[in-house]
Amino acid sequence: MSRASNVTDDSTRSISPKKLAHAVLRTCHFKEMVEWYKTVLSAEILNQNAFIAFMTYDDEHHRIAIATIPGMVERPKHSAGLDHLSFTYGTLGELVYTYVRLKGAGIIPFVSVNHGLTTSFYYRDPDGNGVELQIDNLEPSQWKDWMRDGMSKENPFGTTIDPEAIVRKYRSGVPESEIKSTEISGTFDLETLRRLSE
């Protein structure tokens, strides 16, 4: 008796990945990068040797790996490549507590933006890579509609915000729904855009 095969011609079948698993960053500043990501993400190093460190902050076996290779050279400023990594927190409180903790460690965002869809604090790692720590301002069921129809064509980036003002409002008991905003007013500050792309 022959068994039916589940092998078919799938050459035209389009399958999306289940998730983004991890990012690996090459560096000339191995120790500094490992410590920075460990601090910023409250990450656990699961395995490390002299040239690579695997770390995670959730149930994934590794979300970030930092690697170095002898003879590696610095990437020229303004070169093409990865712009930034982004990490989402579950609540505004988690983002506020993280901001305060990192500020205490001397890690300050270089720009903070209300993108409408997200409230985002942007940092630079020791290699100058951008790292966005964010919260979503909308429910997941609203994300795609907002991207299609709610995002301003004139100002797709959003407006700058003051993290300290957000901390003060949060600590004074202003409801999270009143602090987070999807409303973007005016045009995007070109100086902020320049800082985001440095």
Q: Could you tell me the pTM of the whole model?
A: 0.88
Q: How confident is the model at residue 82 (pLDDT cuts 50, 70, 90)?
A: confident
User: Which residue, 74, 95, 114, sits at the end of a domain?
Assistant: 74
- The pLDDT score that the predictor gives to residue 48 is 96
What is the extent of the structural domain holding 26?
21-74
**pLDDT digit string (tens) for 125-173?**
999 999 999 999 999 999 999 888 888 777 778 888 999 999 999 999 9
Is 64 in the same domain as 97? Answer: no
- The pLDDT score that the predictor gives to residue 1 is 52
User: Which residue, 30, 46, 74, sits at the end of a domain?
Assistant: 74
Is 123 in the same domain as 149? Answer: yes
| Concatenated DSSP letters of 106-174 | T---SEEEE-SSEEEEEEE-TT--EEEEEEESS-GGGHHHIIIIIS-SS-SS-EE--HHHHHHHHHTT-
Is 184 in the same domain as 88? Answer: yes
User: Which residue, 56, 74, 92, sits at the end of a domain?
Assistant: 74
Give buried/exposed letters for 95-116 (b at 16+ CB in 10 A, else e): bbebbeebeeeebebebbbbbb
Is 131 in the same domain as 54? Answer: no
Secondary structure element (H or E) that encloses residue 91, with its range: none
Query: Is 178 within the bounds of a domain?
Result: yes
Query: Is 9 within the bounds of a domain?
Result: no
**pLDDT digit string (tens) for 15-31?**
889 988 999 999 999 99
What CATH number does residue 147 fall under? 3.30.720.110
For range 28-41, the mean pLDDT: 97
Query: Is 42 within the bounds of a domain?
Result: yes
More confident residue, 150 or 62: 62
What is the tally of structural domains in the chain?
2
Is 59 in the same domain as 97? Answer: no
**pLDDT digit string (tens) for 86-111?**
999 999 999 999 999 999 999 999 99
What CATH number does residue 25 fall under? 3.10.180.10
Query: What order do you get walking across the sheet with 23-26 strand by strand?
Result: 23-26, 64-67, 52-56, 44-48
Total Cβ atoms within 10 A of residue 18: 6
Residue 130 backbone class (left: φ over 0; alpha: ψ -120 to 50; beta: rest): beta
